[in-house]
Structure 1
């Protein structure tokens, strides 16, 4: 799993090298990353089939015992993958919040980043929608739900910032009718919840389509309707 670069908008899974020869040359930390890369790649298969440790080991060209030297269980593998997704997403959210002063544009950019992250990482999208976690330990689904709650809180904070600037926007509108202020009844919590529901819905549609429907399709126009 490659680290996020400062200006990246999404992480792209690198095709893992397979075979026991390559696996033997990897250091312990690299082997863990290689296992997670391979797991994520296997989740990209259009058919939703439960991934077993036997199938994962065969894909890697190692024994199941070799997998368990790095992860005590398949649940731990998924937990590590969720942790990587979480760190990647919130690293990018923090970058966006730092670079963009406008709250509405912050929320819009975060939404587009999440949709593009999904498009570039179809296997990880199956984790974000919890489809890959069916039949796995319930703590994994809880972990994803907690991550999404954090995303919603971040979006809410962006829109609260936008609301704080509403008076300035109103003054600007008085001098420049082309400037569109936020509605008087603008509710950051409601908008953030709607925005997250839209994003998650796009993820689900992407997965159900066998990764054929781009999650960012028509997103620019739709986000304007949601956010203003």
Structure 2
């Protein structure tokens, strides 16, 4: 890794961390183990990140920018509120399926015994996802699907469904694909 640029080095560290999080046993990741995986010293890690918490923040930033970028694309390209909500849920489940290590961050497993602010940030992430669901459901109401009085409860239910699928995926050692069989389930959740 001696000839890489600083930005590339940071990315390599985050990629290695995400890969280590894909291990089904879900053991606590130490900076020593991460440094060994990258064949560098722990001091080399700390030249790029002030703490392990900053490394996890880097993963959370990746999750946020990816997920909310995709949610914005869905909102722009899908005129139907119900279809928007359906696409957002499918995307969230697909993101986890494609990024198993990130799923452990999404559900908080990887953040246990880490800085408390990391879990608070993930809670804010859930709130923003729920807000996106509310926006799609409110659009659906204006299009004749559902009732305004049900929007908040339904959005909360949708987020709980996704988080439950993420948990099952992670707790199964990444064997239960979170997208499997979801088209019908999501349609039932979104039925007016």
CA-to-partner distance for each residue in 1:68-90, whole Å, 9 max, x for gaps?
A: 00000000000111011100000
Matches within 5 A, 1:63-102: 63-102=41-80
Instruction: State the match for 1:17 in structure 2.
Output: none
Q: Is contact 1:163-1:186 (8 Å) kept?
A: no
User: What count of residue pairs does the alignment treat as equivalent?
Assistant: 191
In structure 2, the residue corresponding to 1:216 is in which secondary structure? Answer: coil
- Structure 2, unpaired ranges of 5+: none
Instruction: State the match for 2:189 in structure 1.
Output: 226
Matches within 5 A, 1:130-145: 130-145=108-123
TM-score by length of 2: 0.97
- Structure 1, unpaired ranges of 5+: 1-22, 167-181
Instruction: Tell me which of the two structures has the higher relative contact order, counting C-alpha pairs closer than 8 angstroms and 6 or more residues apart.
Output: 2
Instruction: State the match for 2:168 in structure 1.
Output: 205
Instruction: State the match for 1:26 in structure 2.
Output: 4
Change beyond 3 A, Cα 1:183–1:70 = closer
Where is the helix percentage greater, Structure 1 or Structure 2?
2
- Of structures 1 and 2, the larger Rg is shown by 1
1:165 CA drift (Å): 1.4
CA RMSD of aligned residues (A): 1.0
Structure 1 stretches (4+) deviating beyond 4 angstroms?
A: 183-186
TM-score by length of 1: 0.82
